[in-house]
Amino acid sequence: MATNAAPEPEQPEGTGELPLESPRALTVYVARRRKLSEEMEALKARSAEGELTLREAIVVLGVRAYTLLLILLSLPFITPIPLPGLSTPFGVAVGLIALRLMLGQKPWLPEKVLNRPIPPGFFGKVFKFAAGVIRFLEKLLKPRLTFLTDTVILYRTHAALMLVAALALLLPLPIPFTNTFPAWTIILVAAGLLERDGLFILGGYLAFAAGVLYFVFLGEATQRALVWLKDWVVSWW
């Protein structure tokens, strides 16, 4: 009998590139995988050794690399860590990964993005601010509402949401919290896909909705400010 549930994938080689015949392709091998904080600690240790690239980060992160990258590259946007020259490559990388997942294709990044150098110790600084968030997520994450992660069409819908959020990260707006909501959307949805936690995915949709409301509020406030400024200028003539 036909079913929307995806079949179990074959075991990958451990290069960080995973088959995507099913939505579960990035969330298997429970016995082998490390905790999220352990994945981050491994990358932190490698970052402390010197400059590294996203290509090297993928090797360090192993079989769940691309889903972990969605979280990893979004974390800096919720911390006060400056991203000189990195915000655009990070946003592009997240967007490309989400796009490929949405299309049901194997994650892929262009050579220019893969080879982009990341300053030594950068991830250590990020994890210093985000360690509490990561451990908090770890305690809450568990398989539940798995129909939201194991159904192909829903999986691709979640990827489309992350793609839209990634495009929002690319907007050069010097306004507080404009990156926070999209980043949280990606973090929550990716974490939900990683651990088959549908409740976290719903949290990602709520974060996205809150971001939309925030942008609408900003638009209304800006429009009213411009009208007030226009009236003030006219009153002086």
Q: How is residue 173 annotated by DSSP?
A: -
Q: Which two tokens stand for residue 53?
A: 């690239």
Find all residues with CB under 8 Å of 130, minimum gap 6, and list them. 75, 78, 79
The model's confidence at residue 33, banded by pLDDT at 50, 70 and 90, is low
Tokens of 182: 């999209």
Report percent pLDDT > 70 for the chain: 81
- Triad 234, 236, 237: Cα angle to 5°: 70
Beta-strand ranges (E) seen in the chain are 52-53, 117-118
The DSSP code for 52 is: E
| C-alpha angle 18-86-133 in degrees, rounded to nearest 5 | 70
Q: Which of 9-13, 101-105, 138-142, 145-149 has the lowest mean pLDDT?
A: 9-13
Rounded mean pLDDT, 74-82: 76
- Taking the CA atoms of 28, 30, 33 and 36 in sequence, report the sign of the dihedral they define: positive
Residue with tokens 């949709």: 205
Give 182-195 pLDDT, tens digit per residue. 999 999 999 999 88
Split at pLDDT 50, 70, 90, the class of 163 is very high
Q: Enter the pTM of the model.
A: 0.77
Tokens of 37: 């904080």
Bigger pLDDT: 129 or 83? 129
CA dihedral of 172, 178, 181, 187, whole degrees rounded to 10 = 30
pLDDT band at 82 (very low <50, low <70, confident <90, very high): low
Reported as a pLDDT band with limits 50, 70 and 90, residue 157 is: very high
Q: What is the mean pLDDT of residues 36-58?
A: 80
pLDDT, tens only, 8-29: 333 333 333 433 444 444 444 3
Amino acid 26: pLDDT: 42
**What is the average pLDDT value for the chain, to the nearest integer?**
78
Provide the pLDDT for residue 80. 64
Which pairing describes strands 117-118 and 52-53: parallel, antiparallel, or unpaired? antiparallel
For range 49-64, the mean pLDDT: 79
List, for residues 187-237, the tens digit of each pLDDT value.
999 999 988 999 999 999 999 999 999 888 887 877 888 777 777 777 776
User: What are the CA-CA distances from residue 158 to residues 29, 39, 79, 103 (Å)?
Assistant: 22, 23, 24, 11
